[in-house]
Amino acid sequence: MSEFYLRTEEIKPDEIQSLFVETPDDRAIIDELKSITPVVLIGSRGVGKSLLLRMAEQELLRSFEAKRILPVYVSFTGGTLLQSSDRMQFQHWMLARLSTHIVRRLRKLGLVPTHPPGFSVLTGDSSGAAGTSEMRIEKIARSYEESWQNPGNAVDLTGLPNVDNFKCAIEDICEHLKLDRITIFFDEAAHIFFPEQQRQFFTLFRDLRSPHINCNAAVYPGVTAYGSTFQPIHDAAMRPLNRNIFTPDYVSKMRQIVEKQADSQLMANIARNGENFAVLAYAATGNPRLLLKSIQRAPSMNSSEINTVIREFYRTELWAEHSLLSDKYGGHRALIDWGRTFIENDVLPEIHKKNTQYIATEKSTSCYFWVNRDAPETVKEALRLLSYTGIVAEHADGMKATRSEIGTRYTVNLGAIFSLEAKPASSAFQIAKCLTPKRMSEFGPNHSSYSSLLAAVPSFDESTTNAVLNVQLIKNIRVLEITDWQKSKLRELGLTTLGDVLRSTETELQEAKHVGEKRSRRMRNAALAAVYEYLSG
């Protein structure tokens, strides 16, 4: 059975290109990420933001000698674990982590055999550039990331630069090493932080901009707080990432993504059941991760498997993921719950009814709905939150509907639409091939479904990092994406929660019989991934 990489962070950087399937839109985004223009890449979970950042990084590395643009890929996943006594812990941690990544990149490229001006500012001490021991700046970052184990402890900040000193150091390094600029790719960045952290991140994003530093970041739609300092459009190019399901080569491109990782048996099954594969490709609505997850559950690609996957995955699990947002954004619970109810009870049944009629009369089908621009703002906010998981996506703004009224047209995830079919394998492909934006369901400014949301005025109080993190640490290890055998080994050691696993070192995990270095790392990384994945939504 084929095992797929579901997340870019699981792939070695030098293997990224071999797994990448390019579209014209992808190429345009990659080229812009490599340019001097700051870019904020916006896309739902699993749509491929991280992959494009990595591709831009790898291409800049290959052209480094000619262009002297130093790419630095930064993952901020550890930011959700900060629980020190420092009220400025988040900004301090970001600067420490960013300095660490830049120094590592300089060392890997052999650019610091001597001690260039500004280098000691990034390392946090006066050690030689060629040293291999842990830098002072690394110790600061690690101390913050481990603070969740002893909340409230102070972190020694000796050697940590402020923003101005950091920028001056980068300028000195660029001039000494004859670098054109340093281009930073922030991944797992603003979308993994809590709203207050997001605002601080985008303040730093803006403050770092200089002739020698260019920043890019990946974020989720609907759940990103930019703050008052950073102004979208003015301070960065905001680029949505959506794969167009209407391009003639859409299914073939999605198939190529699978081919890059599939074994020969799976590809033979796909070749025998081409239309069934197309159903899963359309159900994913341009999201590669959703496609790979669904194919893992239907390796034979027969109609029975397709029907089961569509009904279980898109009718149940995708919605469960959306509902989990209310744990992180507690004040938005009313919006999150109402958005699900609105789509499930109003939008999907209306689209399903029309599609059933259209198919019977061989007319065009729909995956669209339209909301009047004068609808309550809380309704629009609820729809933005739905875009986080890719259940809903904004298709076009300022669209005219009946009686020439203006509003926004949205698309609904095709898998959610297919899940209402009695036998998706039989009818879903026909629905997908006959789609047209002209068949949109309309919801006016005072639709009756809005009343329940207006009656429950949302509270926008933000959950604290500590409260949400603690909920995750007590979760049972059964939520981990590891084998049952590995879970049994954890239980042998008396480790039953995510917190238990995270508090254990890899060496301690190896005390279980037949668990070596590779398996212990996989088990502990799975626990970290579970916490990070949840905290990023």
Q: For 362-397, give the DSSP string.
A: T--B--EEEEETTS-HHHHHHHHHHTTTTSEEEEEE
Do 254 and 236 share a domain, yes or no?
Answer: no
**What are the C-alpha distances in Å from 283 to residues 172, 248, 291, 414, 440?**
51, 16, 8, 5, 18
pLDDT per residue as tens, the chain (537 positions): 567 888 887 888 888 999 999 999 999 999 999 999 999 999 988 899 999 999 999 999 999 999 999 999 998 777 767 777 777 888 888 899 999 999 999 999 998 876 777 888 888 875 544 455 678 898 988 888 888 787 888 888 889 999 999 999 999 999 999 999 999 999 865 555 566 778 888 989 999 999 999 999 998 887 787 877 888 888 999 999 988 898 999 999 999 999 999 999 999 999 999 999 999 999 999 999 999 999 999 999 999 999 999 999 998 888 888 887 776 666 677 888 899 999 999 999 999 999 998 887 877 899 999 999 888 888 888 898 888 888 999 888 889 988 889 999 999 999 999 999 999 999 999 999 999 888 899 999 989 998 888 776 554 444 555 565 676 778 888 877 677 888 888 899 999 988 888 788 888 889 988 888 877 877 776 776 665 444 443
Angstrom distance (rounded) from CA 175 to CA 235: 25
The two tokens of residue 423 are: 């036998």
Do 487 and 522 share a domain, yes or no?
Answer: yes
Question: Which of 225, 232, 411 has the alpha carbon at shortest distance from 331?
Answer: 225
Do 357 and 401 share a domain, yes or no?
Answer: yes
- On whether residue 53 sits in a domain, the answer given is yes
Burial of 433 (0-12, 13-18, 19+ CB in 10 A): exposed
Angle at 121 between CA 116 and CA 125, to 5 degrees: 95
Specify the pLDDT at position 177.
Answer: 94
Do 530 and 446 share a domain, yes or no?
Answer: no
b/e sequence 149-166, b meaning 16+ C-beta within 10 Å: eeeeeebebebbbeeeeb
Identify the helix (H) or strand (E) that includes residue 408: strand 406-412
Specify the pLDDT at position 480.
Answer: 76
Residue at which a domain ends, from 186, 217, 240: 240
Do 236 and 254 share a domain, yes or no?
Answer: no
- On whether residue 284 sits in a domain, the answer given is yes
Residue at which a domain ends, from 427, 455, 483: 455
- On whether residue 462 sits in a domain, the answer given is no
- On whether residue 466 sits in a domain, the answer given is no
Q: Provide the 10 A C-beta neighbour count for residue 212.
A: 20
Do 193 and 139 share a domain, yes or no?
Answer: yes
- On whether residue 3 sits in a domain, the answer given is no
SS3 (DSSP) at 82? coil
SS3 (DSSP) at 211? coil
Do 187 and 258 share a domain, yes or no?
Answer: no
Do 24 and 42 share a domain, yes or no?
Answer: yes
Do 201 and 112 share a domain, yes or no?
Answer: yes
- On whether residue 40 sits in a domain, the answer given is yes
Identify the helix (H) or strand (E) that includes residue 441: strand 441-443
Residue 457 DSSP label? P
Total domains present in the chain: 3
Residue at which a domain ends, from 207, 240, 273: 240
Decide if 455 contacts 384 (C-beta within 8 A).
no
The two tokens of residue 61 are: 């590395």
- On whether residue 288 sits in a domain, the answer given is yes
Do 411 and 527 share a domain, yes or no?
Answer: no
CATH of the domain at 518: 1.10.150.20
The rounded Cα 117 to chain-centroid distance in angstroms is: 37
Identify the helix (H) or strand (E) that includes residue 92: helix 89-108
Give the range of the structural domain holding residue 395, as residue numbers without chain letter.
250-455
- Taking each continuous run of H as one helix and of E as one strand, the counts in the chain are 27, 9
- On whether residue 465 sits in a domain, the answer given is no
Residues facing residue 406 across a β-bridge: 400
Do 271 and 375 share a domain, yes or no?
Answer: yes
Question: Which of 108, 104, 77 has the alpha carbon at shortest distance from 93?
Answer: 77
Do 416 and 479 share a domain, yes or no?
Answer: no
Angstrom distance (rounded) from CA 450 to CA 472: 33
Angstrom distance (rounded) from CA 365 to CA 355: 5
Question: Which of 119, 87, 116, 92 has the alpha carbon at shortest distance from 103?
Answer: 119
Decide if 158 contacts 92 (C-beta within 8 A).
no
Question: Which of 441, 351, 362, 356 has the alpha carbon at shortest distance from 401?
Answer: 441
CATH of the domain at 29: 3.40.50
Specify the pLDDT at position 243.
Answer: 86
